[in-house]
Amino acid sequence: MQQYITAKGDTVSRIAARHGLTPEHVVQGNPWASRQPYLYPGQMLYLPSAPRKRYAVQEGDDAGRIAGLFGVSTEELELLNPGVHTARYCSPGKILVIPSASPRRSVYLRGEYGPAELEQDIGSLTSRYPFIAHTTIGSSVLGKPLHLLRIGNGPRHLHVNAALHANEWLTSPCLMSFIEEYAAAYAGGTGWNGHAAEEWYNRWTLWAVPMANPDGVELVQEGVMPGEPSYDDLMQWNSSRRNFRHWKANIRGVDLGDQFPAFWEEEQARRGVKGPAPRDYGGIAPLSEPEAAALAELALAHPGEAAVSLHSQGAEIYWNYRGLEPPESQALAVKLAAASGYRAAMLSGSDAGYKDWFIQTFGRPGFTVELGIGKNPLPLSDFDDMALETGLILAAILSDMQ
């Protein structure tokens, strides 16, 4: 056992990932951690030693085959098993220690995915792929940058945003994962799941805001401590609950999914929420929040052929808005559904969303995509499937819209 003192930003999942453990290992050594909504700076944890994977050599095995089986290099295997290249140390029945496989990509989960993880991944991707342009479109209420990534050099524009709702933060690495795989395919002159990345690049410009609500995401993941800004207000708006995992709004208790000027007044009357809350309060006016205003300004500055707002959960694709959507929207939604295995669904009785505003303003296809199935925040184990589904949906737009 080793002792660990928690710091700001630590969570059970992040600590586990950093030490080669699972969250269950951390909780096993610290049972109280499963009953406490968040870790507070200064708490002491007892961490077990990272367990090593082991393997019994089978008939016909050699070092190269074993390394390939576990996704490691023969050099890494040799470090923990000196002499493994020889028949003597790689004979049937010999027990080998298997090193942890190194991540094959920059975007992967190291616990919860928050603003710090996003900035780290943006740095890695823009360094590796200089053709990914990075800037910001403003700041959140608490001054966190609203990052914008741009890839492609085509005349057609596709706008995509993620994590507009705080507890739907898993959509953010899903979008980042697709950007990385798209960039790798373009740089390598290869395709992406049967699609031509070079054609995407020459035909489209993709504008991606991977974390539209960074303050809310951090609140959901880390909570708020006494003495921090807005502590008293947030606790009041959250009915004195210390757990914010159900929180969808920004740090001012405004639901950014109800912030856009598309029959905003009707949506507020329908919701009936009169002040700051975990969800469904649309603010004092449309685009009163800097995060929503920045998304609208970006779309107005670069009018798009289509837009996608990534949410969770439900495995559904909403494509219509008050009959204002163009004729091609439904057919395209069916293609997106076929590509992803999701359901293309008509939605009524809902206004003031990003998709609603985009359709009303530009008369072009707009989609709200509900990734995954379950209860928000969705588990980290859903990430790989959701990331692939995100890519399949965006790939269908980039490839099918002429």
Strands (E), 14-144: 44-47, 53-56, 95-98, 133-139
d(CA 40, CA 210) in angstroms, rounded, equals 27
Distance CA 140, CA 144 (A): 5
**Closest CA relative to residue 179, chosen from 202, 152, 156:** 152
Please tell me what DSSP assigns to residue 130: T
pLDDT tens-digit readout, 126-157: 999 999 999 999 999 999 999 999 999 999 99
Q: What is the pTM of this model?
A: 0.90
| DSSP for 364-391, written as a single string | S-EEEEEESSSSSSPPGGGHHHHHHHHH
The span from the CA of 207 to the CA of 223, in Å, is 30
| Four-point Cα dihedral 21, 22, 24, 29, nearest 10 | 10
Strand stretches in 125-223, DSSP E: 133-139, 145-151, 156-162, 191-192, 195-196, 204-209
Q: Which residue has the tokens 């950014």?
A: 256
Set out the domains of the chain in order of their start, with CATH numbers: 2-47 (3.10.350.10), 53-98 (3.10.350.10), 115-216+287-400 (3.40.630.10)
150: CB partners within 8 A, 6+ apart: 132, 133, 134, 135, 205, 206, 207, 208
The string of pLDDT tens digits covering residues 329-345 is: 999 999 999 999 999 99
**Angle (deg, nearest 10), helices 328-340 and 383-400:** 140
User: Residue 304 and residue 275: Cα distance in Å, rounded?
Assistant: 33
pLDDT value, residue 338: 97
Angstrom distance (rounded) from CA 398 to CA 402: 9
Residue where the block lists tokens 């502590």 = 231
pLDDT (0 to 100) of residue 402: 53
Active site residue 370: yes
pLDDT for 87 equals 81
The pLDDT value given to residue 271: 96
Most distant CA atoms of the chain, gap in Å: 77
Q: Which residues of the chain have pLDDT under 50?
A: none
Q: What is the mean pLDDT of the chain?
A: 95
CA nearest neighbour of 114 among 169, 164, 37, 174: 169
- 345 with 330: CB under 8 angstroms? no
The active-site residue, picked from 168, 267, 370, 389, is 370
